[in-house]
Amino acid sequence: MTLARLLVVPLAAALLLALPSVGSAAPPSTRACSGGTLVSDAAGLTRALAAAGPGSVVRLAPGTYTGTFVARGAGTATRPVVLCGPRTAVLTAGTTATGYTLHLDGARYWQVSGFTVRGGQKGVMADATRDSRIEGLLVEGTGDEALHLRRNSSDNAVRNNVIRDAGSRTPAVGEGIYVGTAQSNWCTYTACRPDRSDRNLIEGNDISATRAESVDLKEGTTGGILRNNRFTGTGMTDADSWVDVKGNGWTISGNVGTTAPTDGFQLHRILDGWGLDNVFSGNTATVNGPGYGINLSTNKDRNRVTCTNRAVGAARGTANVPCR
């Protein structure tokens, strides 16, 4: 093995850690939920979303909004579109069989915060969404995944959300947060090319009661950060770890997990050229299970597990590779 090959992972890690933040492409702070247009029913919300443009603020009054809601259009870096409300404002699809309760479709520079998203086949779906923030939501009771970044959704921040009870319709796709698209679906969503949902920041989320993984980072995605999240694996019936990493150049750091079916964190190679140059550091895995805290199933020389990770109750140890 050449010296250059040996240096690939440390250099990748150094470059990632040197970035100011993956979310720095998104607006630097979330606007206060004040002013703008106050809506109090589903019809008013639909109209306000359709009319929203740079600088618009759409505020939800407490109450229940039944339907599926679509946010399109763009704000700007200095004049984002704001959709916000209290936790007592509940968007509900009224079913878990079909639909996206909240669909960010081609949105750019949106800030979505505070309220509850309930039900739908999927709770929050972001398609071709960029430079946006999804923060402080409660997303619960979905048929499939709770929150999904898809179709080249990049440079977004998904922060401080509470996600629970995903996958009641199809447990195998009941992930908490899903980034990208499986290779088997690239021809459906991204013209048979990798879903480049890149440089997304997934931070500070509390994820529990998902039937599938808490977080799934798909092949085709690159350069994201998964940081300081909390995972609880109780009730996980169709996955064997909290986190699956299949993309490239992800930094997985400071996460805390409890009770995993087998391993805490897993890395997989689905396609040649993917599952490379990822760094695991400072994670605490209370596995209470038969596997590892961190299990690299492949590409062991092209990914790095630092010596700052900790595993408790992992029958096979902290990791299946030496730390460095």
**What is the per-residue pLDDT across 72-90, written as a single tens digit (0 to 9) for each?**
989 999 999 999 999 999 9
Question: Average pLDDT for residues 207-214, to the nearest whole number?
Answer: 98
Structurally, what CATH architecture does the domain formed by 3-319 represent? 3 Solenoid (2.160)
Taking alpha carbons only, the member of 162, 130, 163 closest to residue 22 is 130
The answer on pLDDT for 109 being more than 50 is: yes
Q: What is the mean pLDDT of the chain?
A: 92
Q: What is the pLDDT of residue 29?
A: 63
Question: Average pLDDT for residues 17-46, to the nearest whole number?
Answer: 71
Q: What pLDDT digit, counting tens, does each position of 57-70 carry?
A: 999 999 999 999 99
Q: Are 270 and 183 in contact (CB under 8 A)?
A: yes
With cut-offs at 50, 70 and 90, classify the pLDDT of residue 306.
Answer: very high
Interatomic CA distance for residues 257 and 287, integer angstroms: 7
What residues does each domain of the chain span? 3-319
Write the CA distances from 25 to 6, 77, 154, 162, integer angstroms.
31, 9, 9, 23
Q: What is the pLDDT of residue 233?
A: 98
Q: What pLDDT digit, counting tens, does each position of 97-106 carry?
A: 999 999 999 9
Neighbours of 320 (CB within 10 A): 17
Question: Average pLDDT for residues 144-170, to the nearest whole number?
Answer: 98
Instruction: Give percent of the chain with pLDDT exceeding 90.
Output: 90
Residues 6+ apart with CB under 8 A from 222: 196, 198, 199, 247, 248, 249, 250
- Of 111 and 28, the one with more pLDDT: 111
Instruction: Give me 214's structure tokens.
Output: 């808490």
Question: Average pLDDT for residues 222-238, to the nearest whole number?
Answer: 98
